[in-house]
């Protein structure tokens, strides 16, 4: 089957009778089976996906099809889909089935998308390499000895390897953007609160945001437009109107762009990544945009602040997995207390246990003010400085990740090195602003390099339009 890069291409062929939704699903299912060694999908929903495809074909024929007819989507194993298994790639949710469907997923279905399966990820979305999954690592399709990034690694590889047209993941500190960067696809985290989190397994609730992985910015815009907006089941979701993002992608504005000087001087930044992003900066300047260096004095504080706050929230959120209510329960309990302890020791993987302990520590009575309260204050400073920069500049640009995809096992023995992989993505998460990673080049090993753009809160229309413009420009100049 021909490879499709956007729903627009699919729709053209559907209209011309070149392909049907059923044939698309059959082909994606074959691709998933043929590339099973990538370990991107934990399961596929064959019968149901084919039935959804048939329904979409019928609606296309009689002119009642929704916006997403022809769109075949995979969902990360942190999104609830009624009657389907849901376990955040963890053994602690072994056997658990969703009792309801996440609002975001429900809205996709309502527009006639097909949900093809459940995707592998780091356990409870904690990780940057997809090596923390209890189902084993996902492999980068460009080089099987390398990681796809994480935590939405399966979701990124699924789009990279043509196993579905788009994926829905979650981004707490970069989990959509960083794997997209490693896999050469688009990864988009909207403003915090833009999409309902109802039905998304919580990791760190004041950071968690549903995000999109796709081949084109246009598809990301369309999926955002469908999923965003008020929801009676999530009181934290923004009440703002949802623009028709996908219709707002044309732009001839000359923008004001800042690049954070300190990021480009940061020690761990790979030389090829640096050169590639700097050349984009030059390209934009030549095209008439204003591009200026800006100072962001808190770069050294963002990773520690992020890990104090997210582990604190995680220790609280993951308290509910106690062997009583969901999934796994130990067989070796002798009393109630040993049931709790053994269930959690056996059910959670090592990284999740490490974070629960760290989070419990920073919230403990003696250390609360020294760590948690302090980190909240630093978060405020980071947010205020980021917002201030984004009042002056339309966008901040920086690399998505300091390196291209690293080798499997390279960072597993050193959690600190792994945490530093998040250095460029967590700023947008701490500030709650939207950010996107777009593929802008490849290093000498052929590995993809991602450019990250941040914009002010609810600045998605311009952010998406400008990202689309950059990708078009790169294609034209290549």
Of 224 and 428, nearer to ligand GLN (C-beta) is 428
Smallest separation, CB 352 to ligand GLN (Å): 10
Residue 110: both structure tokens together: 């309502």
DSSP 8-class letter at 146: B
Q: Which is nearer to ligand GLN, 393 or 424 (CB)?
A: 424
SS3 assignment, position 335? coil
Least distance in Å: CB of 401 to ligand GLN?
A: 10
Nearer to ligand GLN, 420 or 474 (CB): 420
Q: In angstroms, give the least distance from the CB of 269 to ligand GLN.
A: 17
If we measure between CA atoms, which residue out of 427, 71, 402, 8 comes closest to residue 226? 71
Q: What are phi and psi of 477, to 5 degrees?
A: -80, -15
Nearest to 144 by CA among 411, 405, 402: 405
The minimum distance between CB 220 and ligand GLN, in angstroms, equals 17
User: Which residue, 162 or 171, is less far from ligand GLN as judged by CB?
Assistant: 171
Contact 186, 453 (CB under 8 A): no
Pairwise CA distance, residues 414 & 425, whole Å: 19
* Least separation in angstroms between CB 404 and ligand GLN: 16
Which residues are CB-neighbours of 456 under 8 A, at least 6 positions away? 387, 390, 391, 433
Catalytic machinery residues = 76, 151, 175
Shortest Å, Cβ 189 to ligand GLN: 8
Q: Are 133 and 121 in contact (CB under 8 A)?
A: yes
| Tokens 């919230």, located at residue | 363
Task: Calculate the dihedral angle through the C-alpha atoms of 325, 151, 28, 36, rounding to the nearest 10 degrees.
Answer: -90
List, edge to edge, every strand of the sheet that includes 448-455: 41-44, 114-119, 72-76, 166-171, 209-214, 186-189, 435-442, 448-455, 395-399, 256-260, 290-294
Among residues 170 and 457, whose Cβ is nearest to ligand GLN?
170
Residue with smallest beta-carbon separation from ligand GLN? 175
Asked if 248 and 280 touch (Cβ cutoff 8 Å), the reply is: no
Q: How far is the CB of 301 from ligand GLN (least distance, A)?
A: 16
**Closer of 57 and 208 to ligand GLN (Cβ):** 208
**Contact status, residue 298 vs residue 262, Cβ threshold 8 Å:** no
Q: Which is nearer to ligand GLN, 182 or 255 (CB)?
A: 182
**Residues at the contact surface with ligand GLN, assessed by CB under 6 A:** 125-128, 151, 170-175, 203, 310, 422
User: Which pair of structure tokens corresponds to residue 209?
Assistant: 């945001």
Residue 23 CB neighbour total at 10 angstroms: 15
């Amino acid at each position: 089957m021909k490879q499709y890069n956007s729903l627009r291409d699919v729709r053209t062929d559907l209209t011309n009778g070149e392909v049907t939704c059923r044939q698309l699903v059959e082909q994606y299912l074959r691709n998933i089976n043929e590339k099973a060694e990538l370990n991107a999908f934990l399961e596929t929903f064959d019968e149901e996906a084919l039935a959804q495809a048939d329904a979409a074909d019928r609606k296309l024929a009689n002119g009642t099809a929704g916006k997403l007819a022809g769109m075949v989507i995979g969902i990360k194993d942190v999104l609830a889909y009624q009657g389907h298994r849901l376990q955040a790639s963890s053994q602690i949710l072994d056997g658990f089935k969703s009792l309801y469907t996440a609002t975001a997923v429900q809205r996709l279905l309502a527009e006639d998308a097909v949900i093809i399966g459940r995707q592998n990820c780091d356990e409870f979305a904690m990780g940057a390499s997809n090596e923390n999954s209890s189902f084993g690592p996902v492999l980068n399709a460009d080089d099987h000895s390398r990681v796809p990034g994480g935590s939405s690694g399966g979701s990124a590889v699924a789009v990279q390897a043509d196993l579905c047209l788009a994926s829905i993941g979650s981004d707490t500190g970069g989990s959509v953007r960083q794997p997209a960067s490693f896999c050469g696809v688009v990864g988009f985290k909207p403003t915090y609160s833009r999409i309902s989190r109802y039905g998304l397994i919580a990791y760190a609730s004041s950071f968690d945001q549903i995000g999109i992985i796709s081949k084109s910015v246009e598809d990301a815009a369309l999926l955002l437009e469908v999923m965003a907006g008020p929801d009676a089941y999530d009181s934290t979701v923004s009440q703002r109107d949802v623009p028709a993002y996908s219709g707002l992608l044309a732009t001839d504005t000359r923008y004001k762009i800042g690049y954070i000087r300190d990021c480009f001087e940061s020690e761990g930044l790979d030389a090829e990544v640096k050169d590639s992003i700097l050349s984009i900066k030059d390209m934009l300047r030549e095209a008439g945009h204003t591009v200026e260096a800006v100072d962001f004095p808190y770069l050294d504080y963002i990773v520690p602040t992020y890990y104090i706050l997210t582990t604190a929230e995680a220790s609280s959120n993951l308290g509910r997995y106690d062997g009583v209510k969901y999934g796994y329960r130990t067989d070796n309990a002798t009393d109630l207390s040993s049931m709790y302890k053994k269930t959690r020791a056996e059910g959670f993987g090592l990284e999740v246990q490490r974070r629960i302990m760290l989070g419990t520590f920073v919230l403990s009575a003696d250390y609360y003010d020294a760590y948690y309260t302090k980190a909240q204050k630093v978060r405020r400073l980071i947010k205020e400085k980021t917002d201030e920069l984004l009042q002056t500049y339309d966008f901040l640009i920086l690399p998505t990740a300091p390196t291209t995809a690293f080798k499997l096992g390279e960072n597993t023995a050193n959690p600190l090195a792994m945490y530093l992989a998040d250095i460029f993505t967590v700023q947008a998460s701490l500030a709650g602003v939207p950010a996107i990673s777009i593929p802008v080049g490849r290093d000498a090993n052929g590995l993809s390099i991602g450019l990250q753009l941040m914009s002010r809160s609810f600045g998605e229309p311009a952010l998406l339009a400008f990202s689309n413009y950059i990708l078009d420009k790169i294609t034209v100049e290549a």
